[in-house]
Structure 1
């Protein structure tokens, strides 16, 4: 009987570990940034949001633009709508993503007829598959040299989000933009 509980406990622990690992993987923010290695970021002193972004009535885009503006100011750039060195383009979206996990339950106690062992106890627990649909938010920030119209820096961030709680999503934008500008070339 002790073996029964040990097997049941190990199978349950394995299933909980898989669920926990899925939660940890989807909770992290994936950030990728790249920039033009030939660009001299010390020559950029001002920025302005693109006319398309500045005229947007989208509340989430406005909040995102404020957060990006704060990060640029932390790196010494000042807003200048008339003669900017850099144009800032901000994009945000949410989409569905399917995540899969599978594994086996190990040996589980059972009683009855088995094709391999005849009458008795024990047996293989079988496999389990888990499928879930997860909402993923994506933020893209592009910095374009205003005179030459050349992309000099881009950062992309992805994070799973709970679409039922918009206030929480907006609250996390600050942390996401900090992660995006962590490796910004201008210190």
Structure 2
């Protein structure tokens, strides 16, 4: 029973770690002054990292979240400049499960016992997955100072239909960290 509890705890921890959100911001910044924003684009060579459909999905989700915060997208000269950076890592997860079968024997009332036969079997399994990290940086267009940075790390869904649904959810989760929410 202990091994099942440990396995479930390990699985719960690993699931949480695949959707980590972190952010930091300039505590002196007045985020209410940002009424418009401009996308400055993606990192160089991002087309080698992510396809155009997923880039569009991410940008659309970000635009939707900024729109909800009263910020308007403009092609140029926004109050804030948004840059996007993405990194993918191929990962392997390993899980183990031990099944113990108790044997014959006898034991005392207080937990001591003698002899007996028993066996245990440990099964290991490995699975490969892709972990993606998206970094959103927001700069003040006048000072060029970084005002907010949001980072989300998550597993990448292989099925494009699932990515279509999960990308906006993950961006929404990240944008909850945006200081202009208050």
Unaligned segments of structure 2, at least 5 residues: 105-114
In the alignment, structure 1 residue 32 sits paired with structure 2 residue 22: yes
TM-score (norm 2): 0.74
Deviation at 1:98, TM superposition (A): 2.3
TM-score (norm 1): 0.72
Deviation at 1:178, TM superposition (A): 0.6
Corresponding residue of 1:82: 76
Identify the match of residue 146 of structure 1 among 141, 145, 152: 141
Matches within 5 A, 1:5-154: 10=1, 14-15=3-4, 18=7, 21-22=10-11, 25-26=14-15, 29-52=19-42, 58-102=52-96, 104-109=98-103, 122-125=117-120, 127-154=122-149
Matches within 5 A, 1:154-169: 154-163=149-158, 165-169=159-163
Deviation at 1:95, TM superposition (A): 2.1
Unaligned segments of structure 1, at least 5 residues: 1-9, 111-119
Cα distance 1:133–1:51, how it changes in 2: closer, same or farther (>3 A)?
A: closer
Contact 1:61 1:92 in 2 (8 A): no
Q: How many residues align?
A: 164
* Bigger mean CA offset, 68-77 vs 154-163: 154-163
Deviation at 1:151, TM superposition (A): 1.1
Alignment RMSD, CA only? 3.0
Deviation at 1:133, TM superposition (A): 2.2
Q: Highest CA radius of gyration, 1 or 2? A: 1
